[in-house]
Every structure is written in C-alpha cells, then in structure tokens.
Amino acid sequence: MAVGLIIIISLYCKNAESQNEAVFLPDVTVCAGAEWDTQNLTQDSIVYTCRQICAEGWQHCTYTVSGETDHSGCLIPHLAFVVEGMGGELRWSCGGTTTLFIYNGMGGAEWGASGEESRELEKDGVRLVEVKWEGGVLLDGIRLGWFSRKNGNGTTIRELSGRPGAIIKWVHDNLSQNYTFGTAGCSGGGMATFSPVYWYYKELAPTLDYQFITGAALPWDVEAWCGVNRENEGRCENAPMMKCETDKDCIAPRGRCAYPKVTMRSLVGIAVRTLVDYIIGGGKKCVVSAGHPLMRESSYRYTPGSYDYNHKIDFDFGEGEPGEESLDDTLLGFTGNAAYIYEQLTGPKEWFDNDGYSHCASSGNPELVPITLDRIRKGLKLK
C-alpha cells in the first residue's frame, strides 16, 4: 500500500512539473565580444553560441562603438550575450540611477531608444538600457530576433518569452543597483516586457517598479487572435473595464467594441498571424483560422501565471488614424487582448486610448512623445 502511494505521489509530482515546465528563467551567458557562432538545424531555425565566453566578470567584457553616445556625449558601454540559443547585445547610459529598460518592436532586432526624444530622460537621472537581438531567422523579410526557433519543432510564446525575461532579470540584478527599475516596450516589445512577468512572475514581478506598454501585442487568447473562435462579448477600446457587444455600447462618439481577433485586412495583420504559425510550427493554421494545441499553450487564458503585481502598469494604444487601418491597435486585436488582461490586474494600472493615432504612435509621433515621457517620469516617480 505504501509503495502504491509513493508511486501515485511520484506521478502527481511529475505531472505537476510538466504542467509548469519553463517556470524558471534561462541563464544568460556573457560573451567576450559581439561575435557568435551559429548553427542551423533547419532552414527556419538558428542557434547562437558565444565565439568566446567572457572568462572574467562581465565588467571586463564591455566595449564601446564609435558614434554611439548618451545625451552627455559619453560613449556608452555595450555587452554581448547569449540566452537560450539566441544572441544579442545590451547598451546603457554612462550615468543615472533610476533605470528604464527599453525594448523595440517585433523581434527586437533594433535598438529601442530611437531619436533624441527618449534620451531626454537621461537629463532626469535615468539610466536608459536597451537590448538589440541578433537578426535570427528571416521570415517574409522580417528579422525574428528573439522569436527565432532553435529547431524545426513548434514552440510557444511562453517558452520564447523566457529569453527577454532573462535579460530583464539580468539588467535588474547587474545594472539597476536596486534603484527604481522600469521597462518600456512597443508592440512586440510590449510582449517581450510583459509576457515574461506573467509567466515568470516569481522571479520578475518583485524586481519591477513600473512598466509602460504601448501597442501591446499580448497573447491573452491566441486562438481568438487567429479567429479560431470569437468572443461574443468585447471590451471598449476607450474603457477596458466596460463590456460591449457593439460600438454603441462604448458611449464615446468614436469608441469601438474591441475583440481579441486580428484583422486580415492589412499586411500587419497577416504578418501577426504568419508569426504565430511560425512559432507553433503549425503550417498555416493561424492564417486560415484553424486551431492548434500550441495556441493555447501560448495564451495567458489557458496557462498558469499571475496578474497580481505591486508595480504600476500603463497601457497605451493608437487607434483610428485616417488611412492607417493596418496600424490600428483595435483592428490588430491588440486592444481586445490587452483589455481582458487589464481587467484582471490587481495592482495599480492606467489605460490611455490615443484616438486618431496609429500603432505605437506614442513612442514616435512628435505630438505624443512629450506626453509619453511625462507619463514615464510619473511612473518612475521622477515628478
């Protein structure tokens, strides 16, 4: 009887482990320089390794790049790394105490702080940290960066998000020096900064003081995103706690009822669905609105995680710019997915609906950038 009980307990523990696979963030390997070796197991996968691993403390392996300076003109430090088979680089301001980690969109294959506007924060004593992933797999002309698979097998957004999550944790532990620490991400950068916090909350949630997410590409329900099923009840793009079935339910003259589904009427919508199909290795399941098991394993709705955080999160969307349907967060399903997430968050939060602007306009439109910077300053408690 005792032996049988032990077997049952053992099987239960193994099952629990399988359900919570990839709970812990992967390790970050620091490279001696920005040189990697790559291996392609298939045409649509890639694995990076450091050509030479940093043998001493990471401080001895930083380097500078001519022309890459912070607001003061100082050549900013860089550091190369590999995490879960994907290579990348970090760079950060020479000074500052409060730390803001900035992520770019899509697969993060470009530096996050584009233009002098974002560097205005350095005047306030903010250390800007950026990541740039190596290009990785090229899909329909787009460099997938941290979305790149390691082999020919399908994977999940949950597993892949461990890569940016590990870098967030590394930056906090090694660069923030326990001062205020926040993140800012646009589009895929919103996924890179929020998804790891949902799935790897035990390691990441305690490190964060603030997050700014614009054009949030957050996979609350990937099946719904792909049009496999349709929520009969939406959320108002201008008031995410308000349930709706038609635009008229949203009261505001131009307020629309937002659903998690991404439209196929734009190239961006097609690109989003194509990316999902690449990640899950499912042929054209998402493109044709067919189901696949890994869709649910890539969704917050069906996988264990946490919405209970102490830090404030600002959500920001661009919706309704004339002639820019392909860059409308509601039509892309981003507003609808994020609204379901927003209503479940227990901590401090705020929702900004930029009516008449396009996707991620708050990080690039001259009219909105000053407003965005003030919101970030407030979130970081600088004002």
Model pLDDT for residues 218-247, shown as the tens digit of each residue: 999 999 999 998 777 899 999 999 999 999
Residue 160: CA count within 13 A, CB half-sphere: 28
Secondary structure (3-state) at 90 = strand
Q: What is the pLDDT of residues 147-191, one digit of tens each?
A: 999 999 999 999 999 999 999 999 999 999 989 999 999 999 999
Q: Provide the pLDDT for residue 116.
A: 65
Instruction: At 371, give phi and psi (nearest 5°).
Output: -65, -45
Pairing assessment for the beta strands 78-83 and 28-30 based on DSSP bridges: antiparallel
Instruction: At 88, give phi and psi (nearest 5°).
Output: -170, 180
Minimal CA–CA distance to 130: which of 105, 161, 155, 162? 105
Query: How much is the pTM?
Result: 0.92
Task: Please say if the pLDDT value at position 272 is more than 80.
Answer: yes
How far is 187 from 145, CA to CA, in rounded Å? 14
Task: Please say if the pLDDT value at position 18 is more than 60.
Answer: no
DSSP 136: -
The most confident of 10-14, 257-261, 311-315, by mean pLDDT: 311-315
Share of the chain above pLDDT 70, in %: 92
Q: Provide the pLDDT for residue 114.
A: 56
Q: Provide the pLDDT for residue 115.
A: 58
Q: What is the pLDDT of residues 323-374, one digit of tens each?
A: 677 789 999 999 999 999 999 999 999 999 998 899 999 988 999 999 999 9
Inter-residue contact 60 to 236 (CB < 8 Å): no
Report CA 259 to chain centroid distance, whole Å: 20
Pairing assessment for the beta strands 138-139 and 78-83 based on DSSP bridges: unpaired
The enclosing H or E element of 201 equals helix 201-204
Length of the chain: 383
Higher pLDDT, 257 or 268: 257
Minimal CA–CA distance to 99: which of 181, 207, 202, 210? 181
Residue 74 corresponds to which tokens in the numbers above? 């100082």
Residue 287: CA count within 13 A, CB half-sphere: 13
The enclosing H or E element of 82 equals strand 78-83
Burial of 43 (0-12, 13-18, 19+ CB in 10 A): exposed
Higher pLDDT, 160 or 113: 160
Task: Please say if the pLDDT value at position 7 is more than 90.
Answer: no
Inter-residue contact 79 to 89 (CB < 8 Å): yes
The enclosing H or E element of 315 equals strand 312-320
Task: Please say if the pLDDT value at position 12 is more than 70.
Answer: no
How far is 220 from 240, CA to CA, in rounded Å? 14
Task: Please say if the pLDDT value at position 253 is more than 50.
Answer: yes
